[in-house]
């Protein structure tokens, strides 16, 4: 497994330099005007759910979301026959990703959406397009927390709809007090004012926040677990899943995925994969 280490300074504008097959900028829009073409691509528009509050991954800057997930989404849409101007962006918070897919609000979700057996009961997944690990973010001057074992008795924040905190409390059996927030931006506010002692989620998400505020927050850089980022699709999307998997493979083989990672993250000592993830079979 090859691993690269990111050393560039975080900037949403840098992510826009990503050399995509479908280059350009898409306007924010959304709300049910998806391609609806049964997997053939090239319809009028495609609606994609991304995060709007995660630096380096999906962050709204002006009228346009930018970041690694947005670049991945733009690349995949291009391979499906959609130009950037045909993409409608929809904010997809952790708690509403399944409902957006079930209700037809979006055609796909690319929003640090981990593939799990539980989620597979209600939606389909293509990918993974990236395999992240879980980590911990603390205040910059906090030297007491260096790993999950140090969270016992501490107040731990995670976003609603995410299982990150439960992985520590339930699966690892660590006695931390859980605090749920609407999203990770709220967790960061709680960490900044001392309401919580730590925030836990995927290292990609935490790296973006740490790079944006290096004097305020520190990523522990002691990764554990594994989170396979998938492209969420409505149930029964076998043909579209296969098309998306082909696009993901090409994105990595061309080096476009690595370029997007390098553009997206700052100097947080974050180690990132440089090989195409092992894709799972489409149902």
Note whether 128 and 279 are within 8 A (CB): yes
Residue 58: how many CB atoms within 10 A of its CB?
30
pLDDT of residue 242: 97
Take residue 179 and report the two structure tokens written for it: 């605090």
Q: What b/e sequence results for 5-20 when a residue is b if at least 16 CB atoms lie within 10 Å of its CB, and e otherwise?
A: ebeeebbbebbbebeb
Domain 3-131+226-273 belongs in CATH node 3.40.190.10: yes
CA dist 228 and 231 (Å) reads: 10
Q: What is the pLDDT of residue 267?
A: 52
Question: Hey, where are the domains in the chain?
Answer: 3-131+226-273, 133-225
User: In this predicted structure, what is the pLDDT of residue 266?
Assistant: 54
Q: What is the mean pLDDT of each run of 10 residues along the chain (283 residues)?
A: 37 36 39 43 84 92 93 97 96 93 97 93 96 93 95 93 85 93 91 96 88 88 90 97 97 92 70 79 84
CA dihedral of residues 244, 247, 252, 256 (deg, nearest 10): -120
Task: Give the pLDDT confidence score for residue 35 in this predicted structure.
Answer: 43
CA distances from residue 173 to 24, 168, 170, 190 in whole angstroms, order as listed = 47, 7, 5, 24
CA dist., res. 253 & res. 102, Å (int): 32
Per-residue H/E/C for the chain: CCEEECCCCCCHHHHCCCCCCCCCCCCECCCCCCCCCCCCCCCCCEEEEECCEECCCEEEECCEEECHHHHHHHHHHHHCCCCHHHEEEEECCHHHHHHHHHHCCCCEECCCCECCHHHHCCEEEEEEEEEEEEEEEEECCCCCCCCHHHHCCCEEEEECCCCHHHHHHHHCCCCCEEEEECCHHHHHHHHHCCCCCEEEEEHHHHHHHHHHCCCCEEECCCCEEEEEEEEEEECCCHHHHHHHHHHHHHHHHCCHHHHHHHHHCCCCCCEEECCCCCCCCCC
pLDDT score, position 58 = 95
Closest Cα to residue 55, out of 195, 222, 188, 191? 188
pLDDT at position 193 is: 95
Contacts of residue 12, defined as CB under 8 A and 6 or more positions apart, other chains included, come to: 55, 59, 61, 66, 67
Confidence at residue 271, expressed as pLDDT on a 0 to 100 scale: 67
Write the burial class of residue 143 (CB in 10 Å: 0-12 exposed, 13-18 middle, 19+ buried): exposed
Q: The tokens of 100 are what? A: 């957006």
The whole-number pLDDT of residue 43 equals: 65
Which sign does the torsion angle of CA 255, 260, 261, 262 carry?
positive
**What is 133-225's CATH superfamily?**
Periplasmic binding protein-like II (3.40.190.10)
């Amino acid at each position: 497994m090859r691993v690269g280490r990111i050393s560039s300074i975080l900037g949403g504008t840098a992510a826009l330099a990503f050399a995509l097959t479908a280059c350009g900028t898409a306007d924010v829009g959304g709300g049910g005007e998806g391609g609806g073409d049964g997997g053939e691509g090239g319809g009028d528009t495609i609606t994609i759910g991304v995060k709007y509050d995660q630096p380096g991954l999906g962050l709204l800057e002006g009228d346009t979301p930018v970041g690694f997930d947005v670049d991945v989404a733009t690349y995949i849409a291009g391979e499906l026959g959609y130009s950037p101007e045909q993409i409608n962006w929809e904010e997809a918070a952790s708690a509403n990703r399944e409902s957006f897919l079930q209700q037809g609000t979006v055609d796909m979700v690319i929003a640090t959406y981990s593939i799990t057996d539980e989620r597979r009961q209600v939606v389909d997944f293509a990918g993974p397009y990236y395999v992240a690990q879980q980590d911990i973010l603390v205040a910059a001057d906090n030297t007491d927390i260096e790993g999950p074992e140090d969270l016992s008795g501490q107040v731990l924040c995670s976003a609603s709809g995410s299982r990150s905190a439960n992985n520590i409390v339930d699966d690892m059996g660590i006695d931390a007090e859980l605090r749920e927030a609407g999203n990770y931006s709220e967790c960061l506010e709680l960490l900044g004012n001392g309401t919580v002692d730590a925030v836990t989620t995927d290292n990609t998400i935490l790296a973006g926040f740490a790079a944006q505020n290096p004097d305020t927050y520190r990523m522990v850089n002691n990764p554990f677990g594994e989170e396979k980022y998938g492209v969420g699709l409505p149930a029964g999307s076998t043909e579209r899943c296969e098309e998306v998997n082909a696009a993901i493979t090409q994105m990595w083989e061309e080096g476009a995925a690595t370029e997007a990672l390098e553009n997206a993250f700052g100097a947080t000592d974050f180690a990132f994969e440089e090989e195409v993830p092992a894709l799972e079979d489409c149902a």
